[in-house]
Structure 1
């Protein structure tokens, strides 16, 4: 199907999970306004495409996950005059502590691969109402599987990889839904384990607000 480049960059700056949108703003402030790959906005508003720069907390530290063309865009940040910035009201100097580059072969698998998806935001206003109408647990899980499949296909399309056959997903475990707020908007998030017949790279984001730490994917190794 295709090779997908990823790059994890961890800084030496401790960060809380709720500060990730602030980290995003802090890094954007170091770059020119026309660097759309970091802020995922265009002149007309939001760029409705898979985010190629994602802001993460890894091992308690501020981090970036760069995907596809986002890997090349890291050079824009490294060429900034200074990496001194503000995370909210906190003055920091971002120093790179660890870099991990990978080339992952995205391919269909005969044996399903098992993943954990943390802080996943599957529901927007429209599908939340549809989800609420489903009274049975089985029907709700099927609805979530349908959304998850769409999230994976959208991500792959966003990096130029197209699935040649039927993509299958099966949710094998899930936590209760939790209420969170993002930019003052109430949302619901949950963690799931699922099996799928496509191989995906670790630490990429799936679903809504994947650029700021929601929907982080981790492969479960037996």
Structure 2
């Protein structure tokens, strides 16, 4: 288990879902030192940082946000030192304004009872396992297949934070949307929205699955009485 440092920065600026990658690019371009945690690319040898992204770009309540974990909570300070928050998104200059900064620690561990979460824009399937998923006929088979993927996503998330569980991770999908198509890295991919139960405590807005650095797989604990407006 681990008491993980988290910083969530929300901006007042409204962005569209398709602007999230441009938002990341604008933040990276504002940096004097192209810290790999901001983009997961090694600019010297054109390689990648394959670990779980510690700086993630989000759209929360229609507004731009940056979600940072562990080392990312320290690196994010470079952005505010290097930038006056004048950012170029898709060729247009925008003056960004911080709405709030929340810093806290979250205990990521296995609990004796399950916790309910929502996950949005979950990139659960790659091309190979989508073809297998498409051959499954029953809802039960498809749910079980996706539950195993979600469990693997949770384990990968924890491993990326150097957290390893001694007990079994439980995961049960309780609601699943119809699949939708999105364009991710210029490839058509299938995404889902879902609700699930797990015995792992996941911090709000952490991403699970592919594309978490640019707003996919955003996971939020579901409140007992949630306002869905």
TM superposition score normalised by structure 1: 0.96
Paired positions, count: 222
Task: Give, in whole Å, the separation in 2 of the partners of 1:193 and 1:82.
Answer: 39
Indicate which of 167, 170, 176 corresponds to 1:168.
170
Indicate which of 65, 75, 82 corresponds to 2:84.
82
Identify the range of structure 1 (85-94 vs 153-162) with the bigger mean alpha-carbon deviation. 85-94
Query: Is 2:16 the counterpart of 1:24?
Result: no
Q: Which residue does 1:108 correspond to in 2? A: 110
Task: Give, in whole Å, the separation in 2 of the partners of 1:3 and 1:134.
Answer: 39
TM superposition score normalised by structure 2: 0.93
Query: Is 2:210 the counterpart of 1:208?
Result: yes
1:186-205 per-position Cα deviation (integer Å, ceiling 9, x unaligned): 01111110001111110111
1:124-163 per-position Cα deviation (integer Å, ceiling 9, x unaligned): 1121122122222111111100000000000100011111
Q: Which residue does 1:7 correspond to in 2? A: 7
Q: Which residue does 2:227 correspond to in 1? A: none
Return closer, same or farther for 1:25/1:81 CA change in 2, 3 Å cut-off.
closer
Task: Give, in whole Å, the separation in 1 of the partners of 2:155 and 2:220.
Answer: 17
RMSD, aligned α-carbons: 1.2
Once the two structures are TM-superposed, the CA of residue 81 in structure 1 deviates from its matched residue by 4.5
Once the two structures are TM-superposed, the CA of residue 94 in structure 1 deviates from its matched residue by 2.2
Once the two structures are TM-superposed, the CA of residue 63 in structure 1 deviates from its matched residue by 0.8
Once the two structures are TM-superposed, the CA of residue 22 in structure 1 deviates from its matched residue by 0.4
Task: Give, in whole Å, the separation in 2 of the partners of 1:142 and 1:29.
Answer: 42
Q: Secondary structure at the match of 1:102?
A: strand
Q: Secondary structure at the match of 1:79?
A: helix
Q: Which residue does 2:35 correspond to in 1? A: 35
Q: Secondary structure at the match of 2:156?
A: helix
Which 4+ runs in 1 deviate beyond 6 A? none
1:109-129 per-position Cα deviation (integer Å, ceiling 9, x unaligned): 111000000110100112112
What 5-or-longer segments of structure 1 have no aligned partner?
none
Once the two structures are TM-superposed, the CA of residue 84 in structure 1 deviates from its matched residue by 1.6
Q: Which residue does 1:180 correspond to in 2? A: 182
